[in-house]
Amino acid sequence: MLNLKSKILLLTVLAFQFTAAFAFADPWSDRIAVTVHGQGPDIVLIPGLTCSGAVWDATVSHLQAHYRLHVIQVDGFAGTPARANTDSPVVQPVVDAIAAYIKANNLKSPKVIGHSLGGTMGMMLALQHPEDVSALMIVDALPFSGMLIGADDLASARKMAEKMRDETLKESEERYERDEKRFLRILVKSDDGRKLATGWAVTSDKSVVAWATYDDMTTDLRPQLQNIKIPVTILYPWDATSGYSQGQTDWFYQQLNYAALPNKTFARIDNSFHFIMLDQPDPFLAQVDKFVGFP
């Protein structure tokens, strides 16, 4: 039997572990949930389209002894309830929810790391709430994702994105799952990583995916890049199977997309597809260490 002092100590430890591992964005949020790990300076981690916050598990394990990590989960992705994210817009309200979380929990200008759509949200957060971000790491995201579907401007992007959105909303769950499995083959190089990311994608609410994709493709941050004054690190992948040389890939990110960004650092991660943290975890964590200043 535990004596009273031992019981109090045990309850204190358990309470600390619970608070350190699980926390939610302010209770009024119907867009995101947040898990919190570790103690120290704050870092916010934003996953990409269809992804679970678990995409950051290795990053959390690596840093949690020295930092407090706030892992965002977008509602409707990776099997989570969609709640308010079932209709457009999705991306802007999620950015608003992240900003509200930062303020409600008194985070003092945390560093932010975002992958893919999460990188776009990180840029939006830095533009709209510069007081909420002290530094930003963008992991393979573009200021205008519409160019990935061949759009030159917002007008053409909207037409193509509307068609993609409507097709996704109308297609069967079986067709959606088949398309996602095919798509993930070109996004994740490692077998284990592909299994993880595919599992998240096929269990995502396709309405949330359709609307979030539309929002992403019709957001053009290029004219505003010069207004992001904080330090920004851009990680981008290259692989020999891509059909592009390293030089062409460097030009695409450094000149075509991010030339207007004033305070930037680039790092190309070779032998990787889009999910750099899954394909090349060690080089990825080395860049994260540089970004956060660890050790």
- By the 10 Å C-beta count (0-12 exposed, 13-18 middle, 19+ buried), 16 is classed as exposed
CATH at residue 53? 3.40.50.1820
Which structure tokens are listed for 194?
A: 């592909």
Quick check: 280 and 272 in contact, CB under 8 A? yes
- Domain presence at residue 118: yes
Alpha-helical segments (H) within 22-171: 57-63, 91-104, 117-128, 154-170
Q: What is the pLDDT of residues 174-184, one digit of tens each?
A: 999 999 999 99
- The DSSP bridge partners found for residue 202 are none
Picking from 189, 163, 201, 162, the residue whose alpha carbon sits closest to that of residue 77 is 201
Picking from 215, 89, 51, 91, the residue whose alpha carbon sits closest to that of residue 146 is 215
The phi and psi torsions of 166 (rounded to 5 degrees) equal -65, -40
The phi and psi torsions of 42 (rounded to 5 degrees) equal -85, 140
- Domain presence at residue 266: yes
pLDDT of residue 28: 63
pLDDT of residue 87: 85
- Please report how many Cα atoms fall inside a 13 Å half-sphere around the Cα of residue 88, on the Cβ side: 14
- Domain presence at residue 63: yes
pLDDT of residue 27: 55
- Domain presence at residue 11: no
Query: In one letter, which amino acid is 251?
Result: W
- The DSSP bridge partners found for residue 264 are 232
All residue ranges of the chain with pLDDT < 50 are 1-25
pTM of the predicted structure, to 2 decimals: 0.91
Residue span of the structural domain in which 121 resides:
20-143+221-292
pLDDT of residue 29: 86
pLDDT of residue 10: 32
- Domain presence at residue 279: yes
- Domain presence at residue 191: no
- Domain presence at residue 187: no
Count of structural domains within the chain: 1
DSSP per-residue codes, 24-59:
-S-TT-SSEEEEEE-SSSEEEEE--TT--GGGGHHH
241 CB-near residues (< 8 Å, 6+ apart): none
The sign of the torsion formed by the CA atoms of 27, 21, 118, 81 equals negative
